[in-house]
Chain A
Amino acid sequence: MDWVNAIVQGVLLGGLYALFAAGLSLIFGVMRLVNIAHGDFIVLAAFLGLTITTTLGLSPLVALALVVPVMAAIGYVLQRGILNRTLGDDILPPLMVTFGLSVIIQNGLLEIYSADPQKMSAGALETASLSLPGGLNVGVLPILMFAVAVAVIAGLQWIFYHSSLGRAFRAVSDKQDIAQLMGLNKAHIFGLAMALSLAVVGIAGVFLGIRTSFDPSIGPGRLIFGFEAVIIGGLGNLWGTLIGGIILGVSQNIGAQINPGWQLLAGHIAFLFVLAVRPRGLFPRID
Protein backbone atom coordinates (compact mmCIF):
# COMPACT_ATOMS: atom_id res chain seq x y z
CA MET A 1 0.00 0.00 0.00
CA ASP A 2 2.94 2.30 0.66
CA TRP A 3 3.98 1.85 -2.93
CA VAL A 4 0.56 2.67 -4.32
CA ASN A 5 0.53 5.70 -2.10
CA ALA A 6 3.97 6.78 -3.34
CA ILE A 7 2.82 6.50 -6.94
CA VAL A 8 -0.43 8.41 -6.36
CA GLN A 9 1.41 11.20 -4.53
CA GLY A 10 4.01 11.21 -7.31
CA VAL A 11 1.36 11.66 -9.98
CA LEU A 12 -0.11 14.61 -8.09
CA LEU A 13 3.36 16.12 -7.59
CA GLY A 14 3.88 15.70 -11.34
CA GLY A 15 1.14 18.25 -11.94
CA LEU A 16 3.24 20.87 -10.13
CA TYR A 17 6.30 19.93 -12.17
CA ALA A 18 4.24 20.28 -15.33
CA LEU A 19 3.35 23.81 -14.21
CA PHE A 20 7.08 24.53 -13.71
CA ALA A 21 7.70 23.24 -17.21
CA ALA A 22 4.78 24.58 -19.27
CA GLY A 23 6.00 28.19 -19.44
CA LEU A 24 9.51 27.04 -20.29
CA SER A 25 8.20 24.90 -23.10
CA LEU A 26 5.95 27.69 -24.41
CA ILE A 27 8.65 30.32 -24.88
CA PHE A 28 11.12 27.82 -26.27
CA GLY A 29 8.49 26.83 -28.82
CA VAL A 30 7.63 30.37 -29.85
CA MET A 31 11.03 32.09 -29.86
CA ARG A 32 13.70 29.40 -29.22
CA LEU A 33 14.63 31.16 -26.00
CA VAL A 34 15.84 29.12 -23.03
CA ASN A 35 15.03 31.10 -19.92
CA ILE A 36 17.70 30.21 -17.34
CA ALA A 37 15.94 32.48 -14.82
CA HIS A 38 12.66 30.52 -15.13
CA GLY A 39 13.09 28.80 -11.76
CA ASP A 40 13.95 32.08 -10.07
CA PHE A 41 10.78 33.63 -11.46
CA ILE A 42 8.87 30.74 -9.85
CA VAL A 43 10.49 31.63 -6.50
CA LEU A 44 9.84 35.34 -7.14
CA ALA A 45 6.16 34.51 -7.66
CA ALA A 46 6.16 32.54 -4.39
CA PHE A 47 7.59 35.51 -2.49
CA LEU A 48 5.14 37.83 -4.21
CA GLY A 49 2.34 35.53 -3.03
CA LEU A 50 3.83 35.52 0.47
CA THR A 51 3.90 39.32 0.61
CA ILE A 52 0.33 39.57 -0.60
CA THR A 53 -1.00 36.94 1.80
CA THR A 54 0.78 38.45 4.82
CA THR A 55 0.09 42.13 4.10
CA LEU A 56 -3.47 41.78 2.83
CA GLY A 57 -4.39 38.75 4.90
CA LEU A 58 -5.64 36.88 1.86
CA SER A 59 -5.64 33.14 1.29
CA PRO A 60 -2.85 32.14 -1.14
CA LEU A 61 -5.44 30.87 -3.61
CA VAL A 62 -7.12 34.28 -3.64
CA ALA A 63 -3.70 35.92 -3.93
CA LEU A 64 -3.33 34.14 -7.28
CA ALA A 65 -5.72 36.72 -8.69
CA LEU A 66 -3.02 39.33 -8.07
CA VAL A 67 0.14 37.27 -8.56
CA VAL A 68 -0.78 36.00 -12.01
CA PRO A 69 -1.45 39.39 -13.66
CA VAL A 70 1.58 40.96 -11.97
CA MET A 71 3.84 38.16 -13.21
CA ALA A 72 2.32 38.45 -16.70
CA ALA A 73 3.03 42.19 -16.72
CA ILE A 74 6.61 41.57 -15.59
CA GLY A 75 6.94 39.05 -18.43
CA TYR A 76 5.71 41.46 -21.09
CA VAL A 77 7.92 44.33 -19.94
CA LEU A 78 10.94 42.05 -19.55
CA GLN A 79 10.53 40.71 -23.08
CA ARG A 80 9.97 44.09 -24.74
CA GLY A 81 12.58 45.87 -22.64
CA ILE A 82 15.41 43.36 -22.51
CA LEU A 83 14.99 39.90 -24.00
CA ASN A 84 13.86 40.96 -27.49
CA ARG A 85 17.20 42.74 -27.87
CA THR A 86 19.08 39.50 -27.20
CA LEU A 87 17.28 37.38 -29.79
CA GLY A 88 18.99 36.72 -33.08
CA ASP A 89 20.96 34.13 -34.94
CA ASP A 90 23.29 33.67 -31.98
CA ILE A 91 21.77 31.56 -29.17
CA LEU A 92 24.31 32.67 -26.58
CA PRO A 93 23.11 36.24 -25.70
CA PRO A 94 19.68 35.17 -24.35
CA LEU A 95 21.35 32.44 -22.27
CA MET A 96 23.83 34.94 -20.81
CA VAL A 97 21.18 37.57 -20.12
CA THR A 98 18.72 35.19 -18.47
CA PHE A 99 21.58 33.71 -16.43
CA GLY A 100 22.36 37.24 -15.29
CA LEU A 101 18.68 37.78 -14.44
CA SER A 102 18.78 34.59 -12.38
CA VAL A 103 21.66 35.94 -10.28
CA ILE A 104 19.95 39.33 -9.91
CA ILE A 105 16.61 37.82 -8.81
CA GLN A 106 18.23 35.46 -6.29
CA ASN A 107 20.27 38.22 -4.71
CA GLY A 108 17.44 40.71 -4.82
CA LEU A 109 15.17 38.26 -2.98
CA LEU A 110 17.96 37.51 -0.50
CA GLU A 111 18.32 41.22 0.20
CA ILE A 112 14.59 41.74 0.75
CA TYR A 113 13.44 38.50 2.38
CA SER A 114 16.71 37.09 3.85
CA ALA A 115 17.75 33.45 3.44
CA ASP A 116 15.20 32.15 5.96
CA PRO A 117 12.86 29.49 4.59
CA GLN A 118 9.30 30.75 4.21
CA LYS A 119 5.98 29.08 3.67
CA MET A 120 2.49 30.15 2.73
CA SER A 121 -0.44 28.74 4.66
CA ALA A 122 -3.62 27.71 2.92
CA GLY A 123 -5.40 27.11 6.23
CA ALA A 124 -7.66 24.10 6.73
CA LEU A 125 -7.36 23.16 3.06
CA GLU A 126 -3.80 22.02 3.71
CA THR A 127 -4.83 19.24 6.07
CA ALA A 128 -8.08 18.25 4.38
CA SER A 129 -7.93 14.85 2.77
CA LEU A 130 -10.07 12.35 0.95
CA SER A 131 -10.17 8.70 1.90
CA LEU A 132 -9.93 6.43 -1.09
CA PRO A 133 -10.83 2.74 -1.06
CA GLY A 134 -7.98 0.61 0.27
CA GLY A 135 -7.13 2.91 3.14
CA LEU A 136 -5.43 5.47 0.91
CA ASN A 137 -5.60 9.10 2.00
CA VAL A 138 -5.05 11.80 -0.57
CA GLY A 139 -4.78 15.48 0.33
CA VAL A 140 -7.38 17.79 -1.16
CA LEU A 141 -4.74 20.42 -1.91
CA PRO A 142 -2.53 18.13 -4.06
CA ILE A 143 -5.64 17.03 -5.95
CA LEU A 144 -6.62 20.66 -6.49
CA MET A 145 -3.11 21.52 -7.72
CA PHE A 146 -3.13 18.60 -10.10
CA ALA A 147 -6.54 19.59 -11.45
CA VAL A 148 -5.32 23.16 -11.98
CA ALA A 149 -2.21 21.86 -13.76
CA VAL A 150 -4.35 19.79 -16.13
CA ALA A 151 -6.63 22.78 -16.70
CA VAL A 152 -3.64 25.06 -17.40
CA ILE A 153 -2.16 22.58 -19.89
CA ALA A 154 -5.55 22.20 -21.58
CA GLY A 155 -5.93 25.99 -21.68
CA LEU A 156 -2.49 26.52 -23.21
CA GLN A 157 -3.19 23.78 -25.73
CA TRP A 158 -6.43 25.50 -26.69
CA ILE A 159 -4.76 28.91 -26.99
CA PHE A 160 -1.98 27.45 -29.10
CA TYR A 161 -4.11 25.55 -31.58
CA HIS A 162 -7.53 27.23 -31.58
CA SER A 163 -7.11 30.97 -30.95
CA SER A 164 -5.84 33.80 -33.09
CA LEU A 165 -3.10 34.43 -30.52
CA GLY A 166 -1.93 30.83 -30.88
CA ARG A 167 -2.02 31.16 -34.66
CA ALA A 168 0.21 34.20 -34.34
CA PHE A 169 2.54 32.28 -31.97
CA ARG A 170 2.88 29.46 -34.47
CA ALA A 171 3.32 31.79 -37.45
CA VAL A 172 6.06 33.80 -35.74
CA SER A 173 7.69 30.57 -34.59
CA ASP A 174 7.70 29.26 -38.19
CA LYS A 175 8.92 32.34 -40.07
CA GLN A 176 9.54 35.59 -38.23
CA ASP A 177 10.02 37.76 -41.34
CA ILE A 178 6.95 36.51 -43.15
CA ALA A 179 4.81 36.79 -40.01
CA GLN A 180 5.91 40.43 -39.86
CA LEU A 181 4.67 40.84 -43.46
CA MET A 182 1.24 39.63 -42.25
CA GLY A 183 1.05 42.61 -39.93
CA LEU A 184 2.22 40.74 -36.82
CA ASN A 185 4.67 42.73 -34.73
CA LYS A 186 6.97 39.99 -33.49
CA ALA A 187 8.26 42.12 -30.61
CA HIS A 188 4.67 42.32 -29.31
CA ILE A 189 3.91 38.64 -29.98
CA PHE A 190 7.07 37.61 -28.11
CA GLY A 191 6.02 39.91 -25.27
CA LEU A 192 2.64 38.17 -25.08
CA ALA A 193 4.31 34.74 -25.12
CA MET A 194 6.55 35.70 -22.19
CA ALA A 195 3.55 37.21 -20.37
CA LEU A 196 1.68 33.94 -20.75
CA SER A 197 4.75 31.99 -19.64
CA LEU A 198 5.16 34.05 -16.48
CA ALA A 199 1.42 33.94 -15.79
CA VAL A 200 1.76 30.16 -15.55
CA VAL A 201 4.90 30.70 -13.44
CA GLY A 202 2.73 32.79 -11.11
CA ILE A 203 0.43 29.82 -10.49
CA ALA A 204 3.39 27.45 -10.16
CA GLY A 205 5.14 29.75 -7.67
CA VAL A 206 2.14 30.14 -5.38
CA PHE A 207 1.50 26.38 -5.42
CA LEU A 208 5.17 25.74 -4.65
CA GLY A 209 4.95 28.14 -1.73
CA ILE A 210 1.89 26.39 -0.30
CA ARG A 211 3.28 22.91 -0.79
CA THR A 212 6.79 23.31 0.61
CA SER A 213 9.00 25.85 2.30
CA PHE A 214 11.05 27.99 -0.04
CA ASP A 215 13.98 30.39 0.09
CA PRO A 216 15.69 32.58 -2.54
CA SER A 217 18.20 29.89 -3.52
CA ILE A 218 15.88 27.13 -4.73
CA GLY A 219 15.08 28.55 -8.20
CA PRO A 220 17.71 26.68 -10.21
CA GLY A 221 16.50 23.37 -8.75
CA ARG A 222 12.94 24.10 -9.95
CA LEU A 223 14.36 25.02 -13.36
CA ILE A 224 15.99 21.58 -13.57
CA PHE A 225 12.67 19.85 -12.74
CA GLY A 226 10.98 21.93 -15.42
CA PHE A 227 13.66 21.10 -17.98
CA GLU A 228 13.47 17.42 -17.19
CA ALA A 229 9.69 17.34 -17.51
CA VAL A 230 9.89 19.10 -20.90
CA ILE A 231 12.59 16.80 -22.24
CA ILE A 232 10.99 13.58 -20.96
CA GLY A 233 7.67 14.56 -22.54
CA GLY A 234 9.19 15.73 -25.82
CA LEU A 235 9.81 19.31 -26.96
CA GLY A 236 6.82 21.22 -28.20
CA ASN A 237 4.18 18.85 -26.83
CA LEU A 238 2.25 20.29 -23.88
CA TRP A 239 0.42 17.08 -22.94
CA GLY A 240 3.79 15.35 -23.21
CA THR A 241 5.11 17.88 -20.68
CA LEU A 242 2.35 16.85 -18.26
CA ILE A 243 3.30 13.19 -18.71
CA GLY A 244 6.96 14.18 -18.26
CA GLY A 245 6.12 15.93 -15.00
CA ILE A 246 4.19 12.88 -13.78
CA ILE A 247 7.05 10.50 -14.66
CA LEU A 248 9.45 12.77 -12.79
CA GLY A 249 7.16 13.04 -9.76
CA VAL A 250 6.47 9.29 -9.60
CA SER A 251 10.18 8.44 -9.99
CA GLN A 252 11.10 10.80 -7.18
CA ASN A 253 8.47 9.37 -4.84
CA ILE A 254 9.42 5.79 -5.63
CA GLY A 255 13.06 6.71 -4.98
CA ALA A 256 12.11 8.28 -1.67
CA GLN A 257 10.13 5.17 -0.77
CA ILE A 258 13.24 3.03 -1.22
CA ASN A 259 15.46 5.44 0.65
CA PRO A 260 14.60 9.05 1.58
CA GLY A 261 18.00 10.18 0.30
CA TRP A 262 17.29 8.86 -3.16
CA GLN A 263 14.36 11.11 -4.01
CA LEU A 264 16.13 13.57 -6.31
CA LEU A 265 18.55 10.99 -7.63
CA ALA A 266 15.69 8.72 -8.76
CA GLY A 267 14.12 11.60 -10.71
CA HIS A 268 17.40 12.40 -12.46
CA ILE A 269 18.00 8.72 -13.26
CA ALA A 270 14.53 8.45 -14.84
CA PHE A 271 15.34 11.55 -16.88
CA LEU A 272 18.69 10.16 -18.05
CA PHE A 273 17.08 6.84 -18.88
CA VAL A 274 14.48 8.49 -21.13
CA LEU A 275 17.17 10.66 -22.70
CA ALA A 276 19.29 7.58 -23.46
CA VAL A 277 16.42 5.51 -24.87
CA ARG A 278 14.39 8.25 -26.57
CA PRO A 279 16.67 11.28 -27.08
CA ARG A 280 13.79 13.37 -28.46
CA GLY A 281 11.56 12.57 -25.50
CA LEU A 282 8.58 10.25 -25.32
CA PHE A 283 6.15 12.28 -27.42
CA PRO A 284 8.05 14.73 -29.61
CA ARG A 285 5.91 16.95 -31.81
CA ILE A 286 5.93 15.61 -35.33
CA ASP A 287 7.29 18.24 -37.69
Chain B
Amino acid sequence: MADAVLSTRSLEACYGDFQALFGVSIDVYPEEVIAIIGANGAGKTTLMRSITGLLTNQPQMVTWKGRSIGALRADQIARLGIAMVPEGRQLFQSLSVEENLIIGGQVGRSGAWSLEKVYDLFPVLKERRNVPATSLSGGQQQMVSIGRALMSNPDILLFDEISLGLAPIIIKSIYEALPTIIGEGMSAIIVEQDIAKAVSVSSRVYCLQEGRVSLEGRPQDLTRDAISAAYFGV
Protein backbone atom coordinates (compact mmCIF):
# COMPACT_ATOMS: atom_id res chain seq x y z
CA MET B 1 0.00 0.00 0.00
CA ALA B 2 1.17 3.54 -0.76
CA ASP B 3 2.25 5.83 2.05
CA ALA B 4 -0.48 7.72 3.86
CA VAL B 5 -0.98 11.32 2.68
CA LEU B 6 -2.28 12.49 6.03
CA SER B 7 -1.52 10.95 9.41
CA THR B 8 -1.92 11.84 13.03
CA ARG B 9 0.46 10.18 15.46
CA SER B 10 -0.34 9.94 19.19
CA LEU B 11 -2.23 13.20 18.88
CA GLU B 12 -2.99 14.80 22.22
CA ALA B 13 -5.11 17.94 22.01
CA CYS B 14 -6.18 20.22 24.82
CA TYR B 15 -8.44 23.22 25.30
CA GLY B 16 -6.63 24.92 28.16
CA ASP B 17 -6.62 22.39 31.00
CA PHE B 18 -9.18 20.14 29.35
CA GLN B 19 -7.67 17.31 27.31
CA ALA B 20 -9.94 16.30 24.44
CA LEU B 21 -7.78 13.78 22.53
CA PHE B 22 -5.57 11.05 23.99
CA GLY B 23 -3.04 9.56 21.59
CA VAL B 24 -5.18 9.50 18.46
CA SER B 25 -3.47 7.97 15.42
CA ILE B 26 -5.26 7.87 12.08
CA ASP B 27 -4.09 7.50 8.48
CA VAL B 28 -5.63 8.63 5.20
CA TYR B 29 -4.22 7.05 2.04
CA PRO B 30 -4.26 8.63 -1.44
CA GLU B 31 -7.74 8.84 -2.97
CA GLU B 32 -9.23 7.27 0.12
CA VAL B 33 -12.42 8.37 1.87
CA ILE B 34 -12.48 7.61 5.56
CA ALA B 35 -15.25 8.18 8.06
CA ILE B 36 -14.87 9.30 11.63
CA ILE B 37 -17.83 8.48 13.76
CA GLY B 38 -18.51 8.94 17.42
CA ALA B 39 -20.96 10.42 19.87
CA ASN B 40 -21.14 14.08 20.87
CA GLY B 41 -18.00 15.07 22.76
CA ALA B 42 -15.97 12.12 21.49
CA GLY B 43 -13.39 14.50 20.02
CA LYS B 44 -14.29 14.44 16.31
CA THR B 45 -14.36 18.21 15.87
CA THR B 46 -11.22 18.58 17.97
CA LEU B 47 -9.48 16.16 15.62
CA MET B 48 -10.59 18.25 12.61
CA ARG B 49 -9.43 21.46 14.29
CA SER B 50 -6.05 19.85 15.02
CA ILE B 51 -5.56 18.71 11.43
CA THR B 52 -6.55 22.09 9.95
CA GLY B 53 -4.36 24.03 12.36
CA LEU B 54 -7.12 25.81 14.27
CA LEU B 55 -5.61 24.00 17.26
CA THR B 56 -1.85 23.83 17.17
CA ASN B 57 0.03 20.81 18.46
CA GLN B 58 3.55 19.44 18.47
CA PRO B 59 4.87 19.34 14.89
CA GLN B 60 5.21 15.56 14.52
CA MET B 61 1.67 14.85 15.76
CA VAL B 62 0.22 15.65 12.31
CA THR B 63 2.04 14.79 9.08
CA TRP B 64 1.04 15.68 5.52
CA LYS B 65 2.84 13.91 2.67
CA GLY B 66 5.71 13.11 5.00
CA ARG B 67 6.01 16.63 6.37
CA SER B 68 5.34 17.52 10.03
CA ILE B 69 2.60 20.15 10.08
CA GLY B 70 1.21 19.91 13.61
CA ALA B 71 2.55 23.31 14.63
CA LEU B 72 1.61 25.26 11.49
CA ARG B 73 -1.10 27.94 11.47
CA ALA B 74 -4.41 27.25 9.76
CA ASP B 75 -3.68 29.61 6.84
CA GLN B 76 -0.36 27.84 6.17
CA ILE B 77 -2.07 24.45 6.24
CA ALA B 78 -4.80 25.68 3.87
CA ARG B 79 -2.08 26.51 1.33
CA LEU B 80 -0.81 22.92 1.50
CA GLY B 81 -4.10 21.65 0.09
CA ILE B 82 -6.13 20.73 3.17
CA ALA B 83 -9.62 22.23 3.13
CA MET B 84 -12.56 21.89 5.48
CA VAL B 85 -16.31 22.20 5.25
CA PRO B 86 -16.81 23.23 8.87
CA GLU B 87 -19.61 22.18 11.17
CA GLY B 88 -22.55 24.56 10.93
CA ARG B 89 -21.39 25.83 7.49
CA GLN B 90 -19.84 29.02 8.93
CA LEU B 91 -20.34 31.29 5.94
CA PHE B 92 -19.17 34.90 6.06
CA GLN B 93 -22.35 36.90 6.66
CA SER B 94 -20.96 40.18 5.30
CA LEU B 95 -20.04 38.53 2.00
CA SER B 96 -22.26 37.61 -0.91
CA VAL B 97 -22.52 34.03 -2.15
CA GLU B 98 -19.98 34.72 -4.87
CA GLU B 99 -17.58 36.52 -2.52
CA ASN B 100 -17.71 33.56 -0.14
CA LEU B 101 -16.69 31.30 -3.02
CA ILE B 102 -13.98 33.67 -4.27
CA ILE B 103 -12.43 33.93 -0.82
CA GLY B 104 -12.20 30.14 -0.76
CA GLY B 105 -10.07 30.34 -3.90
CA GLN B 106 -7.75 32.97 -2.50
CA VAL B 107 -5.15 30.47 -1.32
CA GLY B 108 -4.02 30.48 -4.93
CA ARG B 109 -3.79 26.75 -5.64
CA SER B 110 -4.40 25.80 -9.24
CA GLY B 111 -6.55 22.90 -10.29
CA ALA B 112 -9.84 21.82 -11.77
CA TRP B 113 -12.17 23.85 -9.57
CA SER B 114 -13.23 27.37 -10.49
CA LEU B 115 -16.22 29.61 -9.92
CA GLU B 116 -17.77 28.28 -13.13
CA LYS B 117 -17.33 24.64 -12.12
CA VAL B 118 -18.85 25.25 -8.70
CA TYR B 119 -21.82 26.93 -10.40
CA ASP B 120 -22.10 23.92 -12.75
CA LEU B 121 -22.24 21.63 -9.72
CA PHE B 122 -24.74 23.81 -7.83
CA PRO B 123 -26.66 25.85 -10.47
CA VAL B 124 -28.92 27.41 -7.82
CA LEU B 125 -25.92 29.29 -6.42
CA LYS B 126 -25.34 31.03 -9.73
CA GLU B 127 -28.87 32.44 -9.66
CA ARG B 128 -28.30 33.75 -6.15
CA ARG B 129 -24.66 34.77 -6.52
CA ASN B 130 -25.15 38.37 -5.37
CA VAL B 131 -27.31 37.86 -2.29
CA PRO B 132 -25.79 37.72 1.22
CA ALA B 133 -24.69 34.14 1.82
CA THR B 134 -26.54 33.76 5.09
CA SER B 135 -29.88 34.64 3.47
CA LEU B 136 -29.89 31.26 1.70
CA SER B 137 -31.65 28.14 2.99
CA GLY B 138 -29.64 25.69 5.08
CA GLY B 139 -29.08 23.30 2.18
CA GLN B 140 -27.97 26.08 -0.16
CA GLN B 141 -25.65 27.41 2.52
CA GLN B 142 -24.10 23.94 2.75
CA MET B 143 -23.55 24.07 -1.02
CA VAL B 144 -21.74 27.41 -0.62
CA SER B 145 -19.64 25.96 2.18
CA ILE B 146 -18.70 22.94 0.06
CA GLY B 147 -18.05 25.15 -2.98
CA ARG B 148 -15.91 27.48 -0.89
CA ALA B 149 -13.74 24.54 0.20
CA LEU B 150 -13.49 23.20 -3.36
CA MET B 151 -12.38 26.59 -4.69
CA SER B 152 -9.01 26.07 -2.99
CA ASN B 153 -8.47 22.95 -5.14
CA PRO B 154 -7.61 20.83 -2.10
CA ASP B 155 -5.88 17.45 -2.09
CA ILE B 156 -7.94 16.43 0.91
CA LEU B 157 -11.36 17.63 1.96
CA LEU B 158 -12.61 17.42 5.54
CA PHE B 159 -16.36 17.38 6.07
CA ASP B 160 -17.33 18.14 9.65
CA GLU B 161 -20.92 17.06 10.38
CA ILE B 162 -22.27 17.80 6.91
CA SER B 163 -25.75 16.52 7.65
CA LEU B 164 -26.22 18.31 10.96
CA GLY B 165 -29.35 20.48 10.95
CA LEU B 166 -30.34 19.72 7.36
CA ALA B 167 -33.53 18.13 6.03
CA PRO B 168 -33.24 14.42 5.09
CA ILE B 169 -33.87 15.15 1.42
CA ILE B 170 -31.02 17.68 1.36
CA ILE B 171 -28.71 15.24 3.15
CA LYS B 172 -29.56 12.61 0.54
CA SER B 173 -28.73 14.93 -2.37
CA ILE B 174 -25.47 16.04 -0.76
CA TYR B 175 -24.38 12.43 -0.30
CA GLU B 176 -25.34 11.72 -3.90
CA ALA B 177 -23.12 14.59 -5.01
CA LEU B 178 -20.15 13.42 -2.91
CA PRO B 179 -18.54 11.23 -5.61
CA THR B 180 -18.47 14.28 -7.95
CA ILE B 181 -17.17 16.52 -5.18
CA ILE B 182 -14.44 14.16 -4.09
CA GLY B 183 -12.88 13.90 -7.50
CA GLU B 184 -9.85 12.09 -8.84
CA GLY B 185 -6.73 12.35 -6.80
CA MET B 186 -8.58 13.74 -3.82
CA SER B 187 -8.93 12.16 -0.38
CA ALA B 188 -11.61 12.95 2.17
CA ILE B 189 -12.46 12.62 5.82
CA ILE B 190 -16.15 12.52 6.65
CA VAL B 191 -17.17 13.21 10.21
CA GLU B 192 -20.66 12.03 10.96
CA GLN B 193 -22.98 11.10 13.77
CA ASP B 194 -25.14 9.16 11.32
CA ILE B 195 -23.22 5.88 11.16
CA ALA B 196 -25.09 4.38 8.22
CA LYS B 197 -24.51 7.46 6.05
CA ALA B 198 -20.82 7.63 6.92
CA VAL B 199 -20.20 3.95 6.33
CA SER B 200 -21.97 4.01 2.95
CA VAL B 201 -19.43 6.34 1.34
CA SER B 202 -16.19 5.41 3.08
CA SER B 203 -13.65 2.66 2.67
CA ARG B 204 -12.49 2.71 6.28
CA VAL B 205 -14.05 3.84 9.52
CA TYR B 206 -12.56 5.15 12.73
CA CYS B 207 -14.74 5.36 15.79
CA LEU B 208 -13.80 7.83 18.50
CA GLN B 209 -14.90 7.49 22.07
CA GLU B 210 -13.91 9.93 24.80
CA GLY B 211 -10.89 11.16 22.89
CA ARG B 212 -9.51 7.75 21.88
CA VAL B 213 -9.85 5.57 18.81
CA SER B 214 -12.12 2.79 20.03
CA LEU B 215 -12.47 0.95 16.71
CA GLU B 216 -11.12 1.04 13.20
CA GLY B 217 -11.58 -1.08 10.12
CA ARG B 218 -13.29 -1.60 6.80
CA PRO B 219 -17.08 -1.29 6.98
CA GLN B 220 -17.66 -4.84 5.74
CA ASP B 221 -15.44 -6.23 8.52
CA LEU B 222 -17.26 -4.43 11.31
CA THR B 223 -20.33 -5.88 12.94
CA ARG B 224 -23.17 -3.71 14.13
CA ASP B 225 -22.50 -4.86 17.72
CA ALA B 226 -18.83 -3.92 17.51
CA ILE B 227 -19.70 -0.46 16.21
CA SER B 228 -22.33 0.04 18.93
CA ALA B 229 -19.85 -0.98 21.59
CA ALA B 230 -17.17 1.37 20.21
CA TYR B 231 -19.66 4.19 19.76
CA PHE B 232 -21.38 4.12 23.13
CA GLY B 233 -18.74 2.35 25.19
CA VAL B 234 -21.16 -0.29 26.42
Contacts and interface: CB of A to CB of B under 8 A. Distances in A.
Interface in B86-137: 86, 90, 92-95, 99, 102-104, 106-108
The listed residue with most B CB atoms (<10 A of its CB), out of A171, A173, A182, is A182
Given A164-B106, A182-B107, A182-B148, A171 B75 contact: no
Contact of A175 (B53, B92, B99): B92
A171 B95 contact: yes
Nearest to A169: B94
Chain B, interface size category, equals 20 to 34
Q: DSSP class of A's interface residues: helix, strand, loop or mixed?
A: helix
B95 A182 contact: no
The listed residue with most B CB atoms (<10 A of its CB), out of A173, A183, A287, is A183
B142 interface: no
Contacts, number: 66
Interface in A159-187: 164, 167-168, 170-171, 173-175, 177-186
A183 B79 CA distance: 6
A79 B54 CA distance: 21
A182 B85 CA distance: 11
Contacts of B83: 181
B74 A181 contact: yes
Nearest to B80: A183
A165 to B, nearest CB: 11
Contacts of B207: none
B146 interface: no
B106 A181 contact: no
A170 B95 contact: yes
Nearest to B74: A180
Contacts of A170: 92, 94-95
Contacts of B54: 177, 180-181
A278 to B, nearest CB: 23
A168 B100 CA distance: 10
A214 to B, nearest CB: 37
Interface of A: 164, 167-168, 170-171, 173-175, 177-186, 287
Interface of B: 52-54, 73-76, 78-79, 83-84, 86, 90, 92-95, 99, 102-104, 106-108, 148, 152
